[in-house]
Structure 1
Amino acid sequence: MQVNKDGRDWRIGTADDVGWIAGHTTAGVSVTTAIPPAFDAYATTYQADDATAAAYEHALVEHLTTHTRDQPWWLAYLDTGAHDVVFPHAPRVFLYWNWPYVLVQAGPEQALTWRTGGHMRHGRGALPDLFFPADRSWLVSALWDDTWTCVGGPAPLIHALQRDPVANAREVQPDEDALPPGLVRE
């Protein structure tokens, strides 16, 4: 299926496009609750109080783009009923605990600009709730009830995120509690 936005058609994803995620995460408090245990390194990241949503999201996307060859990205917007899913009439794919997502193939520019109604994490920002490149070399996922975001990918990407104070990332091990210091579970 295709949907039109910004004067062009965009491919809507199916369960096959996220089959590598569905059923491959583990329930609990570790990063592998959001990210399958298939990556070299993992991190959690969140917008610090001294950074704007735009600065934080641009820093995150800039690092992802730098560590990714030119290719489409899959952007997924969780349908909570209260947050912008960009394409409200598009079919859904289901992940995690049968949560409905709108999945569309686009790119980093769209990841930063399409969502205008904010997201779950404090209602600010434009980023999708889950996104990854076509080659699946990394995955970014923020679960419905978390105020932070989990990332899995190559070690150089995770280390670059760690070094950037605006990206505000910390490396975690797959079996480690993903909760960033200073944050609480809701």
Structure 2
Amino acid sequence: MRVSRDGRSWRIGADADVGWIAGQTTAGFSITTAIPPIFAAYATTYQADDVTAADYEQALVEDLSTHTPDQTWWLAYLDTGAHDVVFPHAPRVSLYWNWPYVLVEAGPEQALTWRTGHLRHGCGSLPDLFFPADRSWLVSALWDDTWTCVGGPEPLIDTLHGDPRTNGRRVRPDEDALPPGLTRE
């Protein structure tokens, strides 16, 4: 299926496009609740008090883009009924605990511009889950978390860890993903 937006046609994803994620995560507090245990390194990121949502999101996408060859990205928007899924009439894919996501093949520009009024930040545009076509990294923010989980290659995680705008923190696969100073809701 394809949908139109911004004068272009966009491919809507299917369960096969996220099959590498589905059923590969584990319930609990570790980062593998959001990210399958298949990556070389892991991190959590979140918007610090002294960084705007737009600056945080821009920095995260810039850091990801720096470590990604030119290719499409899959953007997934969780359908909670409370915020924008960008393509409300598109079919859903099922991830995690059968949560419905709208999955669309686009890119970093669309990740930053398509959504408005994100539930976790009060404003912002990032999808709830996204990854490049080559699956070299995965970014996932579970609906009730105020932080974002990332799995990917060591150099990407090093970049996130060193970027004060993304507030990145390395996490081991078996470690609690909750960043210091934040609480679970």
- Please identify runs of 4+ aligned residues in structure 1 that moved more than 4 A: none
Q: Tell me the alpha carbon deviations over residues 78-98 of structure 1, each in whole angstroms, 9 at most, x when there is no partner.
A: 001010000000000010010
Q: Tell me the alpha carbon deviations over residues 40-93 of structure 1, each in whole angstroms, 9 at most, x when there is no partner.
A: 000000000100011000000001000000000000000010100000000000
Partner amino acid for 1:110?
Answer: Q
Partner amino acid for 1:159?
Answer: D
Partner of 1:33: 33
CA distance in 1, matches of 2:122, 2:102: 18
CA distance in 2, matches of 1:18, 1:122: 25
Partner amino acid for 2:179?
Answer: P
Partner of 2:175: 176
CA distance in 1, matches of 2:145, 2:52: 19
Q: Tell me the alpha carbon deviations over residues 12-40 of structure 1, each in whole angstroms, 9 at most, x when there is no partner.
A: 00000000000000110000000000000
For residues 87-166 of structure 1, the aligned pairs below 5 Å read 87-116=87-116, 118-166=117-165
CA distance in 1, matches of 2:133, 2:121: 28
Q: TM-score, with normalisation over the residues of structure 2?
A: 0.99
Partner of 1:70: 70
Superposed displacement of residue 120, structure 1: 2.4
Asked if residue 21 in structure 1 is aligned to residue 21 in structure 2, the reply is: yes
Partner amino acid for 1:64?
Answer: L
Partner of 2:44: 44
Is contact 2:137–2:153 with CA below 8 Å preserved after alignment? yes
Partner of 2:55: 55
Is contact 2:53–2:121 with CA below 8 Å preserved after alignment? no
CA distance in 2, matches of 1:36, 1:124: 28
Is contact 2:41–2:151 with CA below 8 Å preserved after alignment? yes
Aligned-residue Cα RMSD (Å) equals: 0.5
Partner of 1:185: 184
Q: TM-score, with normalisation over the residues of structure 1?
A: 0.98
Report the secondary structure of 2:112's partner residue: helix
Among the aligned pairs, what percent are the same residue?
81
How many residue pairs get aligned? The number is: 185
CA distance in 2, matches of 1:90, 1:37: 29
Report the secondary structure of 2:178's partner residue: coil
Report the secondary structure of 1:22's partner residue: coil
Partner amino acid for 2:95?
Answer: L
Report the secondary structure of 2:146's partner residue: coil
Structure 1 gap segments, 5+ residues each: none
Structure 2 gap segments, 5+ residues each: none
Partner of 1:5: 5
Report the secondary structure of 1:74's partner residue: strand
